Amino acid sequence: MSHPPDRIISYVRYIPHPEGNRCRDDTRYRKIYNLKDRFNFLKKKFPHYLYFDPVFHQLMQAVPYTHVAKIFNPIERLRELYDADQRDPLEERAVGLASILTIPHPYLGISGSVLVGLHTPSSDIDLIVYGKEQGKKAYAHLKTMRDQKRTFAFDSAQAAEKALFRWGSTRSDLARIEQKKVLHGMYCSSEYFIRLLDLSSEPYGEIQYIPQYEATLTGWITDDTESIFTPCRYELSDSSLSHVTTLFSLRGRYCEQVHAGEKIMAHGMVEKVCTPSDEFYQLSLQDPSHFLYPVQCF
């Protein structure tokens, strides 16, 4: 994602709260999960962090550069953990997982609660791999690690819980999709998620993303090669909305969700994408009400 010249597009995650279960520098914090709750919090407390973006044509969360107090760098934070004389158990597991990924230091970082020092013993391990080539290597290695049982798929109870959190259902077919994902699973009793970040991005303003309307469509996945990256993309044929040929998301839950050759049903926001030389339509999957499933799940 490209950022505007005067601010950084970002989303509030942790807020000070007297009953929060996370603590740093004698301040307690709680985590906001729901996207709408994040907008409501900012609208009530910090409306200057909300603005209408003229490129994405929607209300977004962003921090003006004049309000940035500190930037937490995922690559530097992981290096600090490597070099630390002492690490807590979760940090130790994070370093262990990062080490066996065999990705060179400049292309690997850690995000999530560990990045900002607000993790708990039950927190996830969130790693970032930068760039497509390194991402492809990491994905191939993750599949090998799963085969070698160095990482593990969610068990049935964990997968049902994940399906409920992501899709509002504990149905076994949705849970099995979560179990098949290698970017997300278990390592040494901790949940992990690996984000493979596609660094290619057009200059801000070069491409316009214009929301049209919410819609549900069916179609066949013809290409899923970009489904492991953030942002993730799927190419469609025989779409019931004939002008929509691509599924697009910035959210990790849609990675590895469906595969080439599958007939799918999806609900999201139809966007008109205008480039300097062309325009096309995609279905953007961002809101908690959006979904993407193989048709056999219905």
| pLDDT tens-digit map of 165-204 | 999 999 999 999 999 999 999 999 999 999 999 988 788 9
Backbone φ, ψ for residue 228 (5° rounding):
-90, -10
Task: State the chain's mean pLDDT as an integer.
Answer: 94
CATH of the domain at 229: 2.40.50.140
Q: Residue 79: enclosing H or E segment and its boundaries?
A: helix 74-83
Q: Based on the domain organization, do 153 and 247 belong to the same domain? A: no
Q: Which tokens hold the place of 295?
A: 């048709």
Q: Give the pLDDT confidence score for residue 298 in this predicted structure.
A: 61
Instruction: Using a pLDDT cut of 70, give the percent of the chain over it.
Output: 99
Report if residue 30 sits inside a domain.
yes
Q: Based on the domain organization, do 90 and 183 belong to the same domain? A: yes
Q: Based on the domain organization, do 60 and 84 belong to the same domain? A: no
Strand partners, 126: 193
Burial of residue 292 (CB within 10 Å: 0-12, 13-18, 19+) is buried
By C-alpha distance, which of 112, 105, 135 is closest to 232?
135
pTM exceeds 0.85, yes or no? yes
By C-alpha distance, which of 101, 184, 185 is closest to 140?
101
Q: Based on the domain organization, do 157 and 246 belong to the same domain? A: no
Tally of domains in the chain: 3
**Is residue 206 predicted with pLDDT exceeding 70?**
yes
Say if CB 197 and CB 229 are below 8 A apart: yes
Report if residue 117 sits inside a domain.
yes
| d(C-alpha 135, C-alpha 237), whole Å | 26
Structural domain boundaries enclosing 281: 208-297
Q: Based on the domain organization, do 84 and 128 belong to the same domain? A: yes
Strand partners, 221: 236
Say if CB 128 and CB 108 are below 8 A apart: yes
Q: Based on the domain organization, do 140 and 222 belong to the same domain? A: no
Taking every pair of Cα atoms in the chain, the longest distance, rounded to a whole number of angstroms, is 58
Cis peptide before 231 (omega within 30 of 0): yes
Q: Based on the domain organization, do 82 and 191 belong to the same domain? A: yes
DSSP 152-200: B---HHHHHHHHHHHHS---HHHHHHHHH-SSEEEETTEEEEEEEE---
